[in-house]
Amino acid sequence: MDSHGADTARTPKARRTSQVRSVAPAVAVVMGSDSDLPKMQGCIDALREFDLAFEVAVISAHRSPDLAHQFARDAEGRGLRVIIAAAGGAAHLAGVIASLTTLPVIGVPIASSPLAGVDALYSTVQMPPGVPVATVGIDASRNAAILAAQILADRDNGLRGRLRTLKDSMADAVTASNATVRQKLGLK
């Protein structure tokens, strides 16, 4: 736990590195409630897949506004480089953080209300000019992790290679699906 109540998670490689020198996580994953965690698991799994050190914190823009402001103001100084912020309903977490930091903020609208995430999508994506939040689809938390990795890959050739492998594997899967569909239909 750090001073923001954030749990830091390191991949095995990052843990090995931290025995030599302490490496601040580049990515923060914040969510408005612990009830958002199941929807954010895909994000966390993908960050681990990419071997990225990250921290996780539950921070509510409405229920703990002081903490949200403190987190956003301190983020850059603590060495973070990308913030992924998830919330449902009147989802202002990503926007509030984006208003206070120069770091890129990726918003994940969570479907947790009777409006099935459309409320969170609009609340997250419809930011005023000058305060962008890079918003992924409703509950699309894996995409948030991939976008964070793509942002960080500009200084990291290994990470770029892992992203290339992902793209290639998706293309291979489509090629295989194409063959399967054509075979099922008896097409040459």
Binding site for ligand AIR (CB under 6 A): 32-33, 35-36, 60-63, 87-91, 110, 112
User: What whole-number distance in Å separates Cα of residue 1 and Cα of residue 141?
Assistant: 23
User: What whole-number distance in Å separates Cα of residue 173 and Cα of residue 153?
Assistant: 24
Output the six-digit token pair for 7.
């749990």
CB-CB contact of 113 with 119 (8 Å): yes
CB-CB contact of 135 with 124 (8 Å): yes
Q: Which is nearer to ligand AIR, 56 or 87 (CB)?
A: 87
Q: Which is nearer to ligand AIR, 35 or 165 (CB)?
A: 35
Min CB(39)–ligand AIR separation in Å: 8
Measure the CA angle with vertex 68, ends 65 and 74; round to 5°. 140
Min CB(19)–ligand AIR separation in Å: 35
Q: Which is nearer to ligand AIR, 14 or 96 (CB)?
A: 96
Q: Which is nearer to ligand AIR, 29 or 149 (CB)?
A: 29
Min CB(40)–ligand AIR separation in Å: 10
Min CB(15)–ligand AIR separation in Å: 29
Task: Pick the closest to residue 96 from 143, 128, 118 (CA basis).
Answer: 128
